[in-house]
Chains A and B, each alone.
Chain A
Amino acid sequence: MAEKKLSKKALSSGFHRWYYGNLTCFSQEHMQTFGYLCSMLPLCKELYADDPDRMAESMDTYRTFFNTEPQLGAIIVGVTAGLEEARANGAEDVDSETINGLRAGLMGPIAGIGDSLVVGTVIPILLGIAMGMSGGGSPAGAIFYIIVWNLFAYFGMRFLYFKGYDMGTKAVEFLVGDIGTAIREAVTTLGGIVIGAVSATWVSVKTSFALYNEAGEAYMVLQEKLDSVFPGLLTAIFVIFCWWLMAKKRFSPLKVMGLLVVIAFVGVLVGFFNPGLSY
């Protein structure tokens, strides 16, 4: 029997189906399972064109629940494409159980890395730059983001998918290994700095609290005092306060928003906040 080799066309089709369809039919119960099935379909069809029973066995493998960070997760789909090819060629150590064990073992760590790297760092950095280019309502920033993010996502995912297919689980070691760790730390710092700049530029929490002397002149303007300590101090305090509520007190974002409404209301009543409206 001739060695079966997946054609470039089938692999490419498998990749594009994952790239587009990883979450199009989402439900809380199955999440990315159907996206995965659709991505494996062209591959299994090519490998088992003449054997409906093995085709069914193989497709059944991917009925198991799957959910991870979809961009980085392309590597897992690529790895299973390689494994499926090995199974079609009669590799004895590859069966449904090993494939699903691998998928279940990888989807957690990849989701963790992906969420903090892609969603928590790369996207906010790009958005931060884009917002910097949006001054005066210019569309340049939005266009910049559309182009850069999509090129990055498409070619990044493509690279990961084919690396996964070529190198198998070794490819994953790149992500969790030394270089991966070093890149992650560097990018996280980059993200932290950019987010700091974004919050100083776009968020502005100001107090109107002031003490007046008998002649009606303000002799203590709290906002100026705070800014002389650290410009934007009040904004930074509010951000860290929100972080503390969510990270340490386990508040949900909606709960924090609710609390901010209360703080705003009380603040306005006591004169701490007054968004200089012209009445």
Chain B
Amino acid sequence: MSINLFQAIILGLFASLSSMPGLGGTSIGNYTLGRPLIGGLICGIVLGDIPTGIMVGAAMQVVYIALVTPGGTVSADVRAVSYIGIPLAMIALKSYGLDPASAEGTALATSFGTMVGTIGTVLFYGTATMNLVWQHMGWAWVDKREYDKLPLVDYVLPWISHICFSLIPTVIMCMAGEPVVNLIKEKLPMDGIPMKTLFTVGIPMKTLFTVGALLPCVGIAILLKQIVRNVLDFVPYLTGFTLAASMGVNLVASTVIAGMFAILIYKLKMLELRKPAAAASSAAAENGWDDDEEDI
């Protein structure tokens, strides 16, 4: 598997669309194209191997499941994860001859992709800083009451930032990454190692694979940070864990069971909240949203 210039440019364009302040907008860009699972599909299509792309994307998705919020802090920027990390991880898997569905395959893809993905932070600050130039021009136009130039500032000029900090870095890294991946494979092969080098080579390789297995914990933990406020909030999490790990319920079925709990909680909460109101006026308590509308 290899990446030619044309493929690298397409990946670069997707990187421009999908970054956090990306040109696909937040809904389509960052939250759709930027998600590693979707990135895996796109990379799979571009590189001509959809199953591998999806498997690598899904593995990476766990690490970045709760990633970055515009209101929060940036822990990594998705463009590098999805459109540099995933293609290179795919090449690495092919080069090592690993099955992307196997535990080792997932681990290698995860540690590889995450490593590469960390450069996303640099790209993020690069883009944001360059956008200051366009915004500066924007303020000047607003001062002169040339409001029709505002869309230019918001929709068109940022492309220049993205060509510099998304497209070009993606093209360079995808093109240069392939020989690097092959070099790593040559220096750190997985089999046929003479016994004497087993220790020196074995430890870093094993560490690499172990890190790949550990990294998704961080992604899940970032998410838990959002929803766990006290120790009791761990119980829903562990319930889901039990469903899948002990009872072998798959993800779609787990969601159905979770939905049942959600309905129960909603009804209970409404009952609890509506009690005082119900005392005041039982009729108004029945259907709050509709009533609010009529009140105006």
Contacts and interface: CB of A to CB of B under 8 A. Distances in A.
A32 B21 CA distance: 10
Interface stretch (B3-11, B61-69, B171-179): B61-69
A130 B274 CA distance: 36
A276 B220 CA distance: 25
B contact face: mostly helix, strand, loop, or mixed = helix
A110 to B, nearest CB: 9
A157 interface: yes
Interface stretch (A83-91, A214-222, A262-270): A262-270
Contact of A196 (B26, B145, B240): B240
A123 B37 CA distance: 12
A182 B51 contact: no
Interface string A192-218: 111111111111111000000000000
B27 A150 contact: yes
B194 to A, nearest CB: 10
B245 to A, nearest CB: 4
B210 A137 contact: no
A173 B295 CA distance: 13
Interface string A9-43: 00000000101111111111111101101100100
Contacts of A115: 69, 71-72, 226
A7 interface: no
B169 interface: no
Nearest to B214: A260
Contact of A137 (B52, B214, B277): B52
A27 B205 contact: no
Interface of B: 20-23, 25-28, 30-32, 35, 37-38, 40-41, 44, 50-55, 57-59, 61-62, 65-66, 69-73, 75-76, 100-101, 103-104, 107, 114, 118, 127-129, 131-132, 134-135, 138-139, 142, 145, 147, 150-151, 153-155, 157-158, 190-191, 193, 198, 202-203, 205-207, 209-211, 213-218, 220-228, 233-234, 236-246, 249-252, 254-255, 257-259, 261-263, 265-266, 269-270, 273-274, 277, 288-289, 292-293, 295-296
5 contacts: A22-B26, A192-B227, A202-B216, A252-B73, A277-B206
Given A70-B70, A201-B251, 16 more contacts: A23-B22, A37-B138, A37-B150, A119-B69, A142-B54, A167-B293, A186-B269, A190-B255, A194-B240, A195-B220, A230-B245, A242-B220, A253-B222, A265-B207, A268-B203, A275-B209
